[in-house]
Amino acid sequence: MEHAFKGPHPKTYDISFRKLVDMILVMDADERGLLIKEAERINAKMRGTRKPCHIPVQLAKADGVHAAVIRNLSFRGAFLDCKIPVLIGEEVLLKFKDDRKEAAPVLRARIVHATSVGIGIRFERIDSRAARFIQKKMNG
């Protein structure tokens, strides 16, 4: 199946990741321990910030654009009320409605689960502008 989305394969080697690994390798055990604790704290905080909501969006995938409603939202992803056939791992674009105050970002995501109730997506990359937009949506 050919996808309409172009870009690097998710398994592509990233030089930034290599630099991070190099930095970690030169840390002593105490520094690595502190880094792990901080990463776990941030991860727990991000997981705990899933907010229930009702946000109409468009979900674009290889077969077209579909209406959907975000039922819960976090910085890592969302759960959508959208009953369309999907493939786990499929790349999608999430398009927010433009609320005229600022241009709404288009977020690249992957399908991570699907049920008869809806679709779970995980965002690929969130830049600072998109993070601010998501924060506004989560705050109501």
User: Tens digits of per-residue pLDDT, 18-48?
Assistant: 888 888 889 999 998 888 888 887 766 656 5
More confident residue, 15 or 26: 26
**Exposure b/e, 17-53, CB count within 10 A at least 16 = b:** eeeeeeeeeeeeeeeeeeeeeeeeeeeeeeeeebeee
Half-sphere exposure of 16 (CA within 13 A, CB side): 1
User: How does residue 56 score in pLDDT terms, banded at 50, 70 and 90?
Assistant: very high
The CATH superfamily label for domain 51-139 reads: predicted glycosyltransferase like domains (2.40.10.220)
Question: Full-prediction pTM beyond 0.75?
Answer: no
Q: Kindly report the backbone phi and psi dihedral angles of residue 18, in degrees, each rounded to the nearest multiple of 5, phi listed first.
A: -60, -40
For β-strands 106-114 and 91-96, DSSP reports them as antiparallel
